Amino acid sequence: MSEQLKAPPPLPGGSPGRDGPWRRFFRRYSPHGELPWSSATSLIMHAFFLVVVVVVAVPLMRSDPTPPAVDVLYVSTDETAAPDEGDGLPSDATLEGRAEESPEDMPDELPVSDVAEIPAADPEQIVIDPVDQGTELREETSKAQAALDRLARARQQLADNLNRGKATGSGGGGGGGPAGRGARVARWILHFNSRSAKHYLAQLDGLGAVVAFPVEAEQWRYYSDIASTDFKTEVRDLSGETRLYWVDGKPESINGVAQHFGIAPSPYMIVFLPLDMEERLLEMELAYRNLREEEILKTEFEVTHRGGNYDVKIMRQTPK
């Protein structure tokens, strides 16, 4: 007696005895559930990257794109300077723009001074003594001339010291000729991005520079660690000074620096670069276009901020 064959149960998605199209599709292309897993993973990854893009992009869009204004310091002397360059800071006419103090540093209102009313004087009682006025004018002129004479002596002393100082690089120990350390004072220009006296001091200190203000006789008060409130100071003359230098005679710079040190402003101050920074500048200069020192008219450096420290890079170089 033969057994009666029973029909197989119907499969999901199809009629009895047949697979439906979706069942056949998943059975062929995703037998282990790969499609739903990969789809879910792809959606999660795209959502994650979208969140990262939003988190990174929004702060950048809100930042102020305005670049800081640039001020310029020329490392050169009047006698040995390259054409159109001078010693110390240039005049206002030679600057494209001077950085201003940040608005947040300015008070909302200017303080009002208490001024007592002064009654008008009788014109007949006003007496102008031309002798007194002439004396005051002569005294001021004499002080200004004395300051200029002292600066001229300091420059001469420093130039002589550079001639005798330690030679570095291919230029040897020559003075203001086509090569040598004296020529570097005339050839090199440093650009500082200075927003305030505090920022200026931070950049100078980052380069290892020290500053000196004139005091009594031929003595100068040196300041080191200049960006710190715990700066160091000493008084000495220029007889043993062999570092590269420039003279800063701009009141905007001097007044802020003098205030930081708690001293009275001076007509000028001298900034000295350390020997290792001089050697670094020379190495960069010679490698820039593979020119010798006597073949270079001018090299301009920019002070930059990298990794929390200040450094220099070459902006441009002008051959002779």
pLDDT tens-digit map of 286-298: 999 999 999 999 9
Q: Which is more confidently placed, 1 or 23?
A: 23
19-23, 180-184, 186-190, 203-207: the lowest-pLDDT one: 19-23
DSSP 124: G
**Most confident option among 126-130, 171-175, 269-273:** 269-273
Calculate helix-pair angle for 197-206, 251-261, nearest 10 degrees.
80
Max Cα distance, the chain (Å)? 155
Q: How far is the C-alpha of 298 from the C-alpha of 290, rounded, in Å?
A: 14
DSSP 74: E
Only one residue has tokens 């959606």, namely 43
pLDDT for 97: 38
Q: Where are the domains of the chain?
A: 10-52, 71-92+129-319
Q: How far is the C-alpha of 235 from the C-alpha of 209, rounded, in Å?
A: 16
Q: Do 207 and 263 touch, CB atoms closer than 8 A? A: no
State the chain's mean pLDDT as an integer: 73
Of 162, 184, 179, 121, which is closest to residue 295 (Cα–Cα)?
179
Locate 142 and state its tokens.
Answer: 């004499």
pLDDT for 33: 65
pLDDT at 27 over 60: yes
Predicted TM-score (pTM) of this structure: 0.58
β-bridge partners, 190: 73, 301
Confidence of residue 238 (pLDDT cuts 50, 70, 90): very high
Q: Which is more confidently placed, 254 or 135?
A: 254
Confidence of residue 108 (pLDDT cuts 50, 70, 90): very low
Residue 203, number of CB atoms within 10 A of its CB: 20
Within 13 Å, how many C-alpha atoms sit on residue 57's CB side? 6
Residue 289, number of CB atoms within 10 A of its CB: 12
pLDDT for 289: 95
Q: How far is the C-alpha of 288 from the C-alpha of 51, rounded, in Å?
A: 44
Q: Do 128 and 99 touch, CB atoms closer than 8 A? A: no
Q: What whole-number percentage of the chain has pLDDT above 70?
A: 60
pLDDT tens-digit map of 244-265: 999 998 888 899 999 999 999 8
Beta carbons within 8 Å of 224's beta carbon, 6+ residues apart? 210, 231, 232, 233
pLDDT for 20: 67
Of 215, 195, 190, which is closest to residue 256 (Cα–Cα)?
195
CA distances from 199 to 101, 232, 255 (A): 10, 19, 14
**What is the phi/psi pair of residue 314, to 5°?**
-80, 130
If residue 77 lies in a helix (H) or strand (E), which one and from where to where?
none
